[in-house]
Chain A
Amino acid sequence: MLKITNLSATVGEAAEAKTILNGLSLNVPAGEVHAIMGPNGAVKSTLSYVLTGRSGYEVTGGSATLNGEDVLDMDPEIRAAKGMFLSFQYPIEIPGVPVMTFVRTAMNAQRKARGEAEISAPDFIKKSRDVAKMLNLDAEMLKRPVNVGFSGGEKKRLEIYQMMMLEPKFLILDETDSGLDIDALKTVADGVNAMRDPSRGMLVITHYQRLLDYIKPDKVHVLAKGQIIKTGGPELALRLEQEGYDGVLGEAA
């Protein structure tokens, strides 16, 4: 499903460009959940931005394909229409744009790009109501401007709300556990688990093992120095928790 081959990227202007991804390879088949773990400063978030097309990064080598299509030359909105979704580590505030308006505009823009009909207002409202109920989101909150005045936990739940509304094919969760208390973490994980599907892939980026107790990965990769330096099953996450990154990284080096 998502196939990253020998991907290299830099950040910054020409002379001061800094290599941040250095020949990274990764393959997430449909139906699987892969976790990416790594120490702070291991540019885990960078990988999510390069994959979703944020400006400021330059791909200098390698490829990334979603279902066989190279995504790296696509505008961010085209990647979104193809099914790429990023749950942001720090969701952005959009003053003046209510949540419902925002999500409906996004949904219809994606549908238009795919040549599909727009969703009807009643269908949208019904779907929104169902998703909001599952995530314990107050209907009033969905009328407020996107993320403005939301608590950290509310912002993360709103990311999952958007994800469940837009039903992307491939999910990237960037440090979704940061800033969440245990109850919010469970709610968010329930939402993510409800999205698990044989046709859908997920990449869960996290610093701590904790999130993986709730979202069970099929594989765990350790990212350091712009590469995947170790891959294993869920037990690798537990080892990292016990031995620390230094222990595992020392062994790899």
Chain B
Amino acid sequence: MTTALRDFIKNPTTAELELVARYAMQPEDGRRERAFLAFAETGLPHRRMEAWKWSDFKAALKALETPASASANDPVPHDGALVFRFAPTGFEQPKTLPEGVRILTQPTTQALSGAEDVPLGALAAALAGGGARPSTMVIEITSSDLPRLHFVFDGAGEASFARIIFLVRSGVSLTMTESYLGGAGFTAALLEFNLEDAARLNRTIYQRGGTDEALAVTGLINLAANSAAVQTTLAFGAKVARMETRAVHQGSGAKLTLNAAYLSGKGLHADITTHVRHGAPGCVTRQLTKGAVLDGGTGVFQGKFFVPRKTGQHTDADMQHQALLLEDGAVVFAKPELEIYADDVECAHGNTCGALDDAQMFYLRQRGIPETQARAMLTEAFIAEALSTADDSVRDVLLAEAQNWLSS
């Protein structure tokens, strides 16, 4: 190592110094170093960075501390699933794995391309591992006939880092779910999905966090020709929670669906950020994000479609974000972006923020439905569409969680 550790980050905060110290404990590895340097370039992302102006991790995360609040219960069923559990200091995985799923243990860190675009993903890559935890978990999927794979992030501690890489082989379908349940002061997870030709992915994410926790989940999805990915997120936020997805259409005929619902209550911040690159002609993206925010809560939506001039021809893409400000004092920031250089494409976007409709509320109440219940009913109906793409095994669970939140 040529650079002195303390020089990695300019004017480091306590939390950043602790992250540098954690990095120093990791075995020496050129790729790990490159990932950490990509993070160290900016340190914890902050409001003076365009992509992070509404989700300031540097300000939110002063030091790595175990939060007062414990992990939430996991509503996603474990029965019938292959469960992998990541805690700040521990790791559990199924004792045996069925044929069709193989875990490749890598002694060294895998390279992370585009690390500078995902500083907290790079941080996860640099700090994953240690103790029982794998430094990088590579999961190869060769059969569609598998139980659902379920990844749980919970347990008390200062910080939790994980990096998981999926290789979904040609023509194979994978259904997987993730539950981020809080409990750690800072969680950074990096999940990479490589879908080969005609492979299929259905990914569902459930997130809950406390008012003194920071969470960053970075998903990178590469879609080869005729592959398809469907992602559904239900996020309740944390002190700051960023659910970021970067997807690249790499082969013609790929199809991507990115849906999310965020429900932010008092003191909670939920950020849904996505970037989709149409790097091959004739690919389809459908994106629907719905949010509902209470007094003292914050929602962030940043979506970008990038359609290059040559490779992006015949792109068919649609981005919708709709948010409900349920009370005075609710805050939503939205930045939908289409950057299109190709001339033969169909790209649309829509973005709305508003209150519940007075006329609808009165109609429900005139029929005898009390105000709180009427509000919950209308809000649930509003967000349900975004959750409709979740896997059958978890869709009703997500709706029930949303309903509980709305009625409380």
Whether, in the assembled complex, B21 has its beta carbon less than 8 Å from a beta carbon of chain A, the answer is no
Residues on A with beta carbons closer than 8 Å to the beta carbon of B360: 92-94
In the bound complex, do residue B378 and residue A94 qualify as a contact, i.e. CB atoms below 8 Å apart? yes
Interface size of B by CB at 8 A reads: 23
CB contact under 8 A between A75 and B364, given known A94-B378, A94-B381, A105-B377 = no
In the complex, residue of chain A having the shortest beta-carbon distance to the beta carbon of B374: A77
In the assembled complex, the Cα of A88 lies from the Cα of B382 at a distance in Å of: 23
CB contact under 8 A between A55 and B358, given known A96-B385, A106-B369 = yes
In the complex, residue of chain B having the shortest beta-carbon distance to the beta carbon of A107: B368
Residues on A with beta carbons closer than 8 Å to the beta carbon of B330: none
In the bound complex, do residue B366 and residue A105 qualify as a contact, i.e. CB atoms below 8 Å apart? no
In the bound complex, do residue A96 and residue B384 qualify as a contact, i.e. CB atoms below 8 Å apart? yes
B194 to chain A, nearest CB (A): 36
CB contact under 8 A between A92 and B377, given known A52-B366, A77-B371, A166-B367 = no
In the bound complex, do residue A54 and residue B368 qualify as a contact, i.e. CB atoms below 8 Å apart? no
Contact flags B359-395 to A (C-beta < 8 A → 1, else 0): 1101111111111011001101110110000000000
Residues on A with beta carbons closer than 8 Å to the beta carbon of B377: 97, 105
In the bound complex, do residue A109 and residue B368 qualify as a contact, i.e. CB atoms below 8 Å apart? yes
In the bound complex, do residue A92 and residue B373 qualify as a contact, i.e. CB atoms below 8 Å apart? no
Contact flags A185-211 to B (C-beta < 8 A → 1, else 0): 000000000000000000000000000
In the bound complex, do residue A95 and residue B381 qualify as a contact, i.e. CB atoms below 8 Å apart? yes
A74 to chain B, nearest CB (A): 11
In the bound complex, do residue B359 and residue A106 qualify as a contact, i.e. CB atoms below 8 Å apart? no
In the assembled complex, the Cα of A55 lies from the Cα of B377 at a distance in Å of: 20
Residues on A with beta carbons closer than 8 Å to the beta carbon of B358: 55-56
In the bound complex, do residue B368 and residue A113 qualify as a contact, i.e. CB atoms below 8 Å apart? yes
Residues on B with beta carbons closer than 8 Å to the beta carbon of A96: 380-382, 384-385
Residues on A with beta carbons closer than 8 Å to the beta carbon of B357: 92
In the complex, residue of chain A having the shortest beta-carbon distance to the beta carbon of B365: A76
Whether, in the assembled complex, A110 has its beta carbon less than 8 Å from a beta carbon of chain B, the answer is yes
In the bound complex, do residue B363 and residue A88 qualify as a contact, i.e. CB atoms below 8 Å apart? yes
Whether, in the assembled complex, A10 has its beta carbon less than 8 Å from a beta carbon of chain B, the answer is no
In the bound complex, do residue B366 and residue A102 qualify as a contact, i.e. CB atoms below 8 Å apart? no
In the bound complex, do residue B359 and residue A92 qualify as a contact, i.e. CB atoms below 8 Å apart? yes
In the assembled complex, the Cα of A192 lies from the Cα of B105 at a distance in Å of: 74
CB contact under 8 A between A94 and B365, given known A105-B377, A109-B370 = no
Whether, in the assembled complex, A80 has its beta carbon less than 8 Å from a beta carbon of chain B, the answer is yes
Interface size of A by CB at 8 A reads: 32
Residues on B with beta carbons closer than 8 Å to the beta carbon of A52: 366
Residues on A with beta carbons closer than 8 Å to the beta carbon of B381: 94-97, 145
In the complex, residue of chain B having the shortest beta-carbon distance to the beta carbon of A92: B363
CB contact under 8 A between A77 and B385, given known A55-B358, A109-B370 = no
Most B Cβ at <10 Å: residue of A75, A92, A110: A92
In the bound complex, do residue B385 and residue A94 qualify as a contact, i.e. CB atoms below 8 Å apart? no
Whether, in the assembled complex, A162 has its beta carbon less than 8 Å from a beta carbon of chain B, the answer is yes
In the bound complex, do residue A80 and residue B363 qualify as a contact, i.e. CB atoms below 8 Å apart? no
Residues on B with beta carbons closer than 8 Å to the beta carbon of A106: 364, 367-369
B366 to chain A, nearest CB (A): 5
In the complex, residue of chain A having the shortest beta-carbon distance to the beta carbon of B367: A106
Residues on A with beta carbons closer than 8 Å to the beta carbon of B369: 77, 105-106, 109
Residues on A with beta carbons closer than 8 Å to the beta carbon of B366: 52-54, 76-77, 79-80, 85-86
A168 to chain B, nearest CB (A): 9
In the assembled complex, the Cα of A81 lies from the Cα of B369 at a distance in Å of: 9
In the assembled complex, the Cα of A94 lies from the Cα of B384 at a distance in Å of: 13
B395 to chain A, nearest CB (A): 15
In the assembled complex, the Cα of A53 lies from the Cα of B371 at a distance in Å of: 13
Residues on A with beta carbons closer than 8 Å to the beta carbon of B370: 75, 77, 109, 113
Q: Which of B364, B368, B371, B373 contacts A94 (CB 8 A)?
A: B364
A88 to chain B, nearest CB (A): 7
**Contacts of A16-56 to chain B: CB distance below 8 A:** 52-56
Residues on B with beta carbons closer than 8 Å to the beta carbon of A93: 360
In the assembled complex, the Cα of A81 lies from the Cα of B373 at a distance in Å of: 15
**Contacts of B336-373 to chain A: CB distance below 8 A:** 357-360, 362-371, 373
Residues on B with beta carbons closer than 8 Å to the beta carbon of A55: 358, 362
In the assembled complex, the Cα of A116 lies from the Cα of B18 at a distance in Å of: 61
A51 to chain B, nearest CB (A): 10
In the assembled complex, the Cα of A145 lies from the Cα of B367 at a distance in Å of: 16
Most B Cβ at <10 Å: residue of A76, A85, A106: A76
Residues on B with beta carbons closer than 8 Å to the beta carbon of A56: 358
In the complex, residue of chain B having the shortest beta-carbon distance to the beta carbon of A52: B366
In the assembled complex, the Cα of A93 lies from the Cα of B357 at a distance in Å of: 11
In the bound complex, do residue A81 and residue B368 qualify as a contact, i.e. CB atoms below 8 Å apart? yes
Contact flags A82-106 to B (C-beta < 8 A → 1, else 0): 0001101001111111000011011
Residues of B within 8 A of A (CB): 357-360, 362-371, 373-374, 377-378, 380-382, 384-385
* For the complex of A and B, 6 pairs with smallest distance between CB atoms: A96-B381, A80-B368, A110-B368, A106-B367, A76-B365, A92-B363
20 chain-A/chain-B pairs, Cβ below 8 angstroms: A52-B366, A54-B362, A75-B370, A76-B366, A77-B365, A88-B363, A92-B357, A92-B360, A92-B363, A94-B364, A95-B382, A96-B381, A96-B384, A97-B378, A97-B381, A106-B364, A109-B368, A109-B373, A145-B381, A166-B367
